[in-house]
A and B are shown apart, each in its own frame.
Chain A
Amino acid sequence: MLTILRLVAFALFLYAPLSLAETVLQRGNGAEPETLDFHKSSGVPEANIQRDLFEGLVTESADGKLQPGVAESWETSADGKTYTFHLRKEVKWSDGSALTAADFVYAWRRALAPETASDYAFILWPVAGAESYSKGESKDPASIAIKAVDPHTLEVQLNAPTAYFLGMLTHHMTYPLAQAELEKFGKDWTKPGNLVSNGAYRLSEWQPQSHIKLEKNPQYRDAANVAIDTVKYIPTEDKNTELKRFRAGELDITDDIPSDQTAWVKENLPDAFRNSAYIGTYYYALNLEHPAFKDKPKLRRALSLAIDREILTEKITQSGEIPAYGWVPAVEGYTQQTMEEKSLDKAARVALAKQLYAESGYTADKPLELEILYNTSDNHKKLAVAVAAMWKQTLGVTTQLRNEEWKVYLSSRSQKQFQVIRSGWIGDYNDAYSFLGLFKSDVGEMNPSNYKNPEFDRLMKEAETQADAKLRSEAMAQAERVLLADMPIVPVYHYTTQHLVSSKVTGWVDNVMDVHPSRYLGIK
């Protein structure tokens, strides 16, 4: 008996250091990643993984602020149109080969090449020559104004001073690419064993719909400060399953929580629940091509005023969302704008809504008849029911609800087959332009209301060409005031993020971009 106990003790002794040796982080990650080819991806699940695998010229700190990445420093020309980046000399690819400025030139040219068929190529269009090459108007990749001056110096010329350019460089479309690997493996370059990365981690395993496993990259420039050895990204479309897995200890971080469980989570898992502001706005877009709304700013304003956003966020969404009286959420270097009527009390707002509704020619006997289109989701449905009830109660508007499956909804939306549509917008970078750019006349389908106002366009053009940050911000604020006066949309709330983070995870910092690179995290 004693011998057996000794053997067990010895086995435990052997096992203990092994189990302590490797730290593993299990992250819930929403949908299965479409691709790890960062020139072909567009979603958040892919971006989370790519952020661990790759690093751009500029990167984010744990709290989502910009900080030097592969570039240790940079200068901007006096006219704000030329950026010169100085790359760190020690940066390497995960196979140990040197990473040079040419790797960025190669990557950006590939990103913009029409045959790459990248749906996010347009994000690089502020670079001189990028748009015409991407559209196939120019066939010469050298016409894109990105140049490797020497192996450690990169020069980029822009069409106009672009204040958000540095923020844009954290986007996956701007990462470097190892040319040799791509040419060797072709479209299989993203497979485990083939993929060469320059971030804190390298790819070790990928089983679709099961997991993606990353392991620490010893060649990473800051590898000494990377605490977690292995990161497992686990796709979990079903939020309820994700919650159960977290409760069972199978996940350390969840991608989201089911909205109908928020109250339960707040009460039962208060230490793990992380809820913070997110760079996004939930809104209703009014179709300005539809006779109901065309040339009727008073009616649009009445509909917006009749919505009680506090009730919607407190009683329906219940995840700490911030009632939205303006379009742009809290972003850096910008003063948030709100509808003029925000300062009025509720009774005054309702009175004004009734007055504007009546002035638009509608009465109790002749009410406005509307239809709200939303995609299948309990939350969208609950909100639409509540908004319809508020319109009915305050103004007497009769509202029908139309629910469509996601792709059907997108099709109706692009063909403008709706009167009112629920929508949401998440900023690509931490700058007001990422929101206001949506309502320029030449944006096309992305502007769901089909809003067009020359004054708004003029102010946005002014912001686009303005090198002075303060003046640029003021031009955008003026543009937003024009937008809010015209009211082509009804902002409802600014998004928040909801995660469950295990108490054993260290280094998690809530931030408005919701970026949490694994290299800043640790396990207690």
Chain B
Amino acid sequence: MLRYVLRRLWGAIPTLLVIITLAFFLIRLAPGGPFDSERPVPPEIAANLERAYHLDQPLPVQYGYYLLNVLQGDFGPSFKYKDHSVSELIAQGFPVSLQLGMLAMLLALLLGIPAGMAAALHHNRPLDHVLMAVAMTGITIPNFVMAPLLALVFGVFLQWLPVAGWGSGWQSMVLPVIALALPQVAYAARLMRASMLETLSSPHIRTAFAKGLPLRLILWRHVLKGALLPLISWLGPATAAIVTGSVVIEQIFGIPGIGRHFVQGALNRDYTLVMGVVVFYGGLIIAMNLLVDVLYGWFDPRVRYG
């Protein structure tokens, strides 16, 4: 198992290098620079600015500097938010995004798995149709529509929960977590339903029913483990998607997460900030996929010996 993990880790290095290189040159291709503004500065002052951030050097030299700094764990200063280094901004923003993402994921699983199970057990009956219709709605309504709607109803009209902000108690977390979790609840439910149906129809489950084992025992001992496998492989990309995909939610609810830095960084051509977030997320997604592979290997030994 350890060799398997090490092999996967070693394989991640070139992937990360490709991500860094592509991101570095792609962002430089975007027209406009970090210091362009509606009030262009005099040329001497523009030169001072470029010198201060090494932008007066040729691009390959800048790339070399960047790689060396990243190897030392330094993402450099933010061009836009001049009082903060990129590492500081990530260190401040990531715990918030992670908390938001994990809570949303937890909610998605807590609601999605039982809903999927219930739908499968009531296959083609009214409960199944209702649950799947709700799930379909959750998937089709984008969260940039759902989020403002939730804020309007529960924040403005009912005044039960804060409209935006973060860190002022659990109340501020409720709406963004729900908004972020809703589509994932729906995915989890549909995935669980399909996988349950498949497992329920497999010969060993039919044998168990034939032997007269109680339903509860069959479900917990035999169905659940097999049915959860597709959900586990979905968990990695879904967690990465939920943590990285909170960009819209963070923007709408004014949450000081990493997603907001990414959006603002890209709009401001804050090269170092965008690079920092891309590299960080790149590493995170690789790590998540690795974790899922390990988990999968643990659930299904054929994978690690295959």
A residues near B, CB below 8 A? 31-32, 34-37, 40-42, 114-122, 134-136, 187-188, 190-191, 207-211, 234-238, 240-241, 244-245, 247-250, 405-412, 414, 423-424, 444-446
B80–A119 CB distance below 8 A: no
With A35-B82, A407-B32 known as contacts, the answer to whether A210 contacts B167 (CB < 8 A) is yes
A411–B156 CB distance below 8 A: no
Kindly list chain A residues whose C-beta atoms are within 8 Å of the C-beta of B53. 117
Kindly list chain B residues whose C-beta atoms are within 8 Å of the C-beta of A414. 36, 40
B30–A407 CB distance below 8 A: yes
B269–A208 CB distance below 8 A: no
B45–A248 CB distance below 8 A: no
Q: How far is the CA of A32 from the CA of B262 in the complex (A)?
A: 13
A119–B41 CB distance below 8 A: yes
* 6 additional A-B residue pairs with CB within 8 Å, beyond A35-B83, A245-B164, A247-B156: A118-B45, A207-B92, A236-B254, A245-B163, A248-B163, A250-B163
Partner of B32, one of A36, A42, A411: A411
Kindly list chain A residues whose C-beta atoms are within 8 Å of the C-beta of B155. 244-245, 248
A208–B81 CB distance below 8 A: yes
Q: How far is the CA of A408 from the CA of B268 in the complex (A)?
A: 11
CB distance from B259 to the nearest CB of A (A): 10
With A136-B44, A248-B155, A411-B32 known as contacts, the answer to whether A40 contacts B166 (CB < 8 A) is no
Tell yes or no: B190 within 8 A of A by CB.
no
Kindly list chain B residues whose C-beta atoms are within 8 Å of the C-beta of A34. 80-82
Partner of A210, one of B37, B49, B84, B166: B166
Kindly list chain A residues whose C-beta atoms are within 8 Å of the C-beta of B164. 236, 241, 244-245, 250
Partner of B39, one of A42, A249, A405: A42
Q: How far is the CA of A241 from the CA of B252 in the complex (A)?
A: 6
With A241-B253, A250-B164 known as contacts, the answer to whether A135 contacts B44 (CB < 8 A) is yes
CB distance from A323 to the nearest CB of B (A): 22
Proximity string of chain B (134-171) to chain A, C-beta cutoff 8 Å, 1 when within and 0 when not = 00000000000000100110011001001111110000
Proximity string of chain B (168-196) to chain A, C-beta cutoff 8 Å, 1 when within and 0 when not = 00000000000000000000000000000
A40–B43 CB distance below 8 A: no
CB distance from A379 to the nearest CB of B (A): 15
Partner of B83, one of A36, A118, A410, A445: A36
5 CB < 8 A contacts A-B: A31-B264, A34-B81, A241-B252, A241-B253, A406-B32
- From 91 to 138 in chain B, residues with beta carbon under 8 angstroms from any chain A beta carbon are 92-93
Kindly list chain B residues whose C-beta atoms are within 8 Å of the C-beta of A134. 44-45
Which residue of A has the minimal Cβ distance to B152?
A: A244
B48–A117 CB distance below 8 A: yes
Kindly list chain B residues whose C-beta atoms are within 8 Å of the C-beta of A248. 155-156, 159, 162-163
Partner of A207, one of B39, B81, B167: B167
Tell yes or no: B2 within 8 A of A by CB.
no
Kindly list chain A residues whose C-beta atoms are within 8 Å of the C-beta of B36. 407, 410-411, 414
Count B interface residues, CB 8 Å. Answer: 53
B43–A250 CB distance below 8 A: no
Between B37, B38, B152, B167, the greatest number of chain A beta carbons within 10 A of the residue's beta carbon is seen for: B38
Q: How far is the CA of A34 from the CA of B83 in the complex (A)?
A: 8
B32–A238 CB distance below 8 A: no
Partner of B251, one of A41, A187, A238: A238
B38–A410 CB distance below 8 A: yes
A237–B156 CB distance below 8 A: no
The 9 A-B residue pairs with the shortest CB-CB distance, nearest first, are A407-B32, A210-B256, A445-B40, A209-B256, A117-B52, A35-B82, A410-B36, A135-B44, A411-B31
Which residue of A has the minimal Cβ distance to B46?
A: A119
Kindly list chain B residues whose C-beta atoms are within 8 Å of the C-beta of A406. 32, 267
Q: How far is the CA of A506 from the CA of B203 in the complex (A)?
A: 76
CB distance from B38 to the nearest CB of A (A): 7
Which residue of A has the minimal Cβ distance to B78?
A: A34
CB distance from A421 to the nearest CB of B (A): 11
Proximity string of chain B (254-275) to chain A, C-beta cutoff 8 Å, 1 when within and 0 when not = 1111001100100111000000
- From 2 to 49 in chain B, residues with beta carbon under 8 angstroms from any chain A beta carbon are 30-33, 35-45, 48-49
A444–B40 CB distance below 8 A: yes
Kindly list chain A residues whose C-beta atoms are within 8 Å of the C-beta of B93. 208-209
A410–B37 CB distance below 8 A: yes
Tell yes or no: B225 within 8 A of A by CB.
no
Kindly list chain B residues whose C-beta atoms are within 8 Å of the C-beta of A408. 30-32
Q: How far is the CA of A171 from the CA of B285 in the complex (A)?
A: 46
A207–B256 CB distance below 8 A: yes
CB distance from A303 to the nearest CB of B (A): 23
A190–B264 CB distance below 8 A: no
Q: How far is the CA of A152 from the CA of B81 in the complex (A)?
A: 35
Kindly list chain B residues whose C-beta atoms are within 8 Å of the C-beta of A407. 30-33, 36, 267-269
Between A188, A211, A407, the greatest number of chain B beta carbons within 10 A of the residue's beta carbon is seen for: A407
A114–B48 CB distance below 8 A: yes
A42–B37 CB distance below 8 A: yes
Tell yes or no: B206 within 8 A of A by CB.
no
